[in-house]
Structure 1
Amino acid sequence: MAKNFTRSDRIAQQLQRDLAELIRAELDHPKAALVTLTDVEVTRDNSHAKVFYTFLGSEEDAQSIAAKLEAAKGYLRSELARGIKLFKMPELHFHYDHSVEQGMHLDGLISQAAALPRAPDDDA
């Protein structure tokens, strides 16, 4: 069975790979290696790309990274244009992805619920 990937999906995957490498290698921040790109969504006309990322560090470092990404998005876009031949390189919009933190919170709640004493009639 053939997989139906749209051109936008393939572009998003390539942007995610290339952006991750660029951020790690080129971003002028001591903790840039701690940035993880979780997803990239490209509009159908390739004019905009939402880049979702997470950061493992303190809250003030996360704010510093967010400011650095915003300041460097023009540079990152121009570097991407050198490697990917597109009629129009999408404008980058960075969004912090809270899903990892929410997942860790839910995991903690599940662990707490599992540690609670069981009712006497709950044998299963």
Structure 2
Amino acid sequence: MSNVRADRVGEQIKKELADILAREVKDPRVQFVTVTGVDVTGDLQQAKVFVTVLGEEKDKEETLTALQKARGFIRSEIGNRVHLRKTPELSFHFDESIDYGNRIERLLKEIHDEDSNENR
């Protein structure tokens, strides 16, 4: 039962967080951030926020630093919008699944191209 609630809270936090990042956080390093998921623990004390960032590796690191710096403000805003007894502690992480998927797709294309060349 608590997993259902944690999932529901995670989705609400994800929705509000996307709005907060788009409208409230003024740091220019937080411009091209997409929140891809939020995993909330069963006791609702911790939330892992997964993000993707458009840009180079340096941009990603700077964005993560800016998100960590704005964590208190973001948590406060979430607390005002999502009514819980205690707002979960936030930790920001890069969502590697898109890069992983792109790598798999590239490898499959290479294999397909090799097979096509061998059949000629």
Q: Same fold (TM over 0.5)?
A: yes
What CA distance in whole angstroms lies between the structure 2 residues aligned with 1:28 and 1:62? Answer: 17
Q: Tell me which of 102, 107, 110 is aligned to 2:108.
A: 110
Q: Which amino acid aligns with 1:66?
A: L
What is the deviation of 1:31?
5.0
Q: Which amino acid aligns with 2:90?
A: L
What is the deviation of 1:117?
3.5
Q: TM-score, normalised by structure 1?
A: 0.86
What is the aligned residue count?
116
Residue in 1 that maps onto 2:38: 40
Secondary structure at the aligned position of 2:44 is classed as coil
More displaced, 71-80 or 110-119?
110-119
Residue in 2 that maps onto 1:83: 81
Identity %: 35
Q: Return the index of the structure with the highest Cα Rg.
A: 1
What CA distance in whole angstroms lies between the structure 1 residues aligned with 2:15 and 2:102? Answer: 25
Residue in 2 that maps onto 1:97: 95
- Whether the 8 Å contact between 1:19 and 1:80 is mirrored in structure 2 is yes
Q: Which amino acid aligns with 1:43?
A: T
Secondary structure at the aligned position of 1:14 is classed as helix
- For the aligned residues, what is the CA RMSD? 1.5
Return 5+ residue gaps in structure 2 as ranges.
Answer: none
What CA distance in whole angstroms lies between the structure 1 residues aligned with 2:92 and 2:45? Answer: 14
Return 5+ residue gaps in structure 1 as ranges.
Answer: none
- Indicate the structure with greater helix content: 2
Residue in 1 that maps onto 2:25: 27
